[in-house]
Amino acid sequence: MNATTRQGTTARTLRTVRDLMTAGLVARGDLAALEEVASRYAVSVTPAMAALIQPGERDDPIARQFVPDAAELTTTADERADPIGDEVHEVVPGLIHRYPDRVLLKLMSVCAVYCRFCFRRETVGHGRAALSGGELAAALAYIAARPQIWEVIVSGGDPLMASPRRLARLTAELAGIDHVHVVRFHTRVPVVAPERVTTELVEALRASGKATWVAIHANHPRELTNEARGALARLAGAGIALVSQTVLLRGVNDDAATLAALMRAFVAAGVKPYYLHHGDLAPGTGRFRTTIAQGRALMKALRGRLSGLCQPTYVLDIPGGHGKVPVGPGHVGEGNGACLIEDFNGARHAYPPGRAGAKAASNVGLG
């Protein structure tokens, strides 16, 4: 049953708690608490996502991602407004230079949907929708002045909420910077609002003479609807390379079967799984976070049981701005002068340490 047939709701984005109540997605008795949540953190559920929600199902994984919950009013001591340290590396407004060869440009401050676990939830959905002309010019000037910048990641908010005309201007500017070779867009739009992925928008993403990549954010296999796969096909058909981003979320995808179905769905849609993010320490998001040990166990369960094409890298963004690092399971140990390699069934196999290892073992024996 979709949002329209459920309560006669028109096919429009639900932007208030009362909209959600009218659509049958929240109870009237929860209205006061959820209004307080909405006053802090933006709310938006597109028709595509509302249609997937099953209100009668307890802890529906789609509703859990987008429908506000009173638990968001609880902030724990380890949570922080800027969990990955964007502010530490913001060189001009909207431009983050954390790694030597790439920058992240926060073009927009709005999204098609607002994820209840968002690590930028304190800054998106309120105030200005986008960088001003002057701010964007300053960001582009910074990029142009630094030859070490090889890649520009366009994010936000969601950059595909910009008009095709604005996106085309941006890609034209980046195309004119010789040392920039890759332009990457991070977006949820092809999944949550696939109708926005028009021929005009797809063409606007292509920077002449540069490689364009689009990172697609989805967290549950049900999100990859026929319409979403059509939007992805339009991007791929234009020669745009597609990778995925997923956040590991308790109650959404924290089991091996769901993750396997999602990664296979990505690959079948022409999207290479890229990152599985450990949940960030954003305020009011404790109900979503797993432990790193749980994430490592899930990745271990996927290894060997899924095609190599379906394997994302499990990563943690270290709080405080220290960067993203892999935290997946290890498969190499040591014992009896050899490497011990663990296969996907958990069995260990000795592997010769090689010339350097043999020499080191010989020296130890001489002692």
Active site residue 254: no
**Options 98, 184, 188, 222, the catalytic residue:** 98
The DSSP code for 118 is -
**Options 19, 60, 254, 317, the catalytic residue:** 317
Active site residue 115: yes
| CA atoms 30, 35, 36, 40: torsion sign | positive
**Options 64, 106, 116, 120, the catalytic residue:** 120
Active site residue 310: no
What stretches of the chain adopt beta strand conformation (E)?
A: 90-92, 95-99, 102-106, 151-155, 182-187, 211-217, 241-247, 272-277, 313-318, 323-326, 332-335, 338-342, 348-351
Roughly how many angstroms between the first and final C-alpha of the chain, as a whole number? 75
Whole-angstrom distance, CA of residue 156 vs CA of residue 217: 13
Q: Which of 169, 166, 164, 175 is nearest to 130 (CA)?
A: 166
**Options 60, 111, 206, 289, the catalytic residue:** 111
Cα 33 vs. chain centroid, distance in angstroms?
Answer: 28
| CA atoms 76, 78, 79, 80: torsion sign | positive
- Measured N-to-C along each axis, helices 292-302 and 256-268 cross at an angle, to the nearest 10 degrees, of 60
**Options 114, 188, 280, 310, the catalytic residue:** 280
Active site residue 280: yes
Which two structure tokens, joined as six digits, stand for 318?
Answer: 């270290």
**Options 114, 115, 289, 314, the catalytic residue:** 115
**Options 64, 106, 118, 314, the catalytic residue:** 118
Active site residue 351: no
**Options 18, 40, 80, 102, the catalytic residue:** 102
> Alpha carbon of 60 to those of 39, 56, 63, 69, 177: distances in Å?
24, 8, 5, 13, 46
**Options 99, 196, 250, 296, the catalytic residue:** 99
Active site residue 102: yes
Active site residue 317: yes
Whole-angstrom distance, CA of residue 246 vs CA of residue 5: 30
Whole-angstrom distance, CA of residue 277 vs CA of residue 202: 27
Active site residues: 98-99, 102, 111, 115, 118, 120, 280, 317, 324
